[in-house]
Structure 1
């Protein structure tokens, strides 16, 4: 018996791995995050038990996994996006280890990747940014020491900020000293869902743009000069005259 933590992707039911889809269709028990995972992701399943974890607390989720373990039934534990990012799987895994229950993690498409695709941009461009920082805004629980937004902003890397759209004015105020008012910003609401929407702007005007759209939750904030039209060099990978294993010179 195995518990499979499956990344269902950002919303589009087709943005799930073949392996993740196969496991959902095969496992006799499914526990899915119903507040963020569309029901269409579960289409074709043959599970005898389907539970919506949005209605359960941690111990109830663990108890359901333990019950399945005692019956020898595999569990598809379906999370949105990629379960390794803000998926709260660590606390579940801790219990599974204590109970001696096997588990595997099946990765999924992140909201960051989906948003970049929607915007038609690359998040790492030569000369502009070679680092992407995925973080969240400190709200209900504090950030660890050294991970305050100002600490991260000093790097001037591309930022992907989760769970922060309701605090956008505060975020902008913290970023302005490091990125400047003209730094491009995009706020993507429910990327890949049928009602997806987004706003592009700069740190100077993004607050007004988001307010006009009325975004309140389920939005990702992307910040960085890679989102604009700043000039950048071509990569070495495809540069004529740059030799590598698959394209030797001569």
Structure 2
């Protein structure tokens, strides 16, 4: 039986001549490109966005763009890394606050939902690019793997206390992560399902928190 690993062994070569980012001015320029890309991706979509559009939106030259990124896919990946770092940090803050499991999970889901809403343009771009560009897909899966390993660690901790016995931590974490991302994509980027339902942000967050809690914190009936 073939075994699959989460992290991909191949890493594309990264440029190292990016000293501009190390200076205060360089960091400000980099942030200008990131902010501009968010607006352009949200306005035009990732597939239609051009590097010249991003540079113009940032008030910078195209030549300056290439001092920071090789392609718009590289810039999109940087934004994706920001998103996952922010979402994971929000989740950790919830668990450190001494809340109940359900309170912490709901706060984590609320943080993810709101962060996705704020970054919807770039995350739709991630979805599109991962389907069309093989190298981007592999690098995006590496970013996702960080979250999957973190979630799986929480699942293993729960199992040490008798919860969800027999569940594969990695596969469970992958399933929950995929559910969370696609649920946000359907309801925030595509306008929701073609079904009759009373929808609200609070209801969506409650639903996500309940699914995650019941997927991890359950015990056999005879326990």
The interval holding the TM-score normalised by the smaller chain is 0.3 to 0.5
Q: Which structure shows the bigger proportion of residues in strand conformation?
A: 1
Question: Rg larger in 1 or in 2?
Answer: 1
TM-score (norm 2): 0.34
Higher relative contact order, structure no. (Cα contacts within 8 Å, ≥ 6 residues apart): 2
TM-score (norm 1): 0.32
